[in-house]
Amino acid sequence: MALTRTIRKTVKARIQADDGFRYALFSHAVEVMLADDMATAKSVLKDYIDATIGFDDLATESGLTVRHLKRMFQPSGNPRAAEMFRVIGILQRHQGIQLEVSTAA
C-alpha cells in the first residue's frame, strides 16, 4: 500500500506542476472511456480531479454530492453517461480547454 500512496502523490504533484502532462492525462482518460475501458478512465479521472478542481468544488459546480462523485469513480462505481459527460464538461471549463473527438483510420 505504501507504494500506491507514493505513486499517487507523485502523479498528483506532476499534474499540478506540468500543464502538458495534465492535458495529456485528461485527454487519455476521455480516450480510454470512449474505447470502453471505464475502469482506467475512472481511475485516471479520480486522480485528475483530486489534483485539480477537487471533489468539493466539482460537487458544487455539478450539483452532485461529494459522496456521489467519489462513488462514481470507485472501481465498483457505475456512473451514468449524463453524469460523466457533465463532469468532463466542468473539467474542460476548469482547465480552459475544449476536447474534440475525431475518427481514426
Give the pLDDT confidence of 18-31 residue by residue, as tens digits: 999 999 999 999 99
For residue range 43-86, what is the model confidence (pLDDT) as tens digits?
Answer: 999 999 999 999 999 999 999 999 999 999 999 999 999 999 99
pLDDT tier at 100, thresholds 50, 70, 90 = confident
Is residue 105 in a domain?
Answer: no
Q: Which domain holds residue 89?
A: 2-95
pTM for the model stands at: 0.86
Residue closest to 47 by CA, chosen among 13, 80, 85, 19: 13
Residue 103: inside a domain: no
Interhelix angle 19-34/2-17, nearest 10 degrees? 110
Between CA 99 and CA 105 the distance in angstroms is 19
Tally of structural domains, the chain: 1
Q: Is residue 91 part of a domain?
A: yes
Residue 100 falls inside a structural domain = no
Assigned domain for 84 exists = yes
Question: Does residue 55 fall inside a structural domain?
Answer: yes
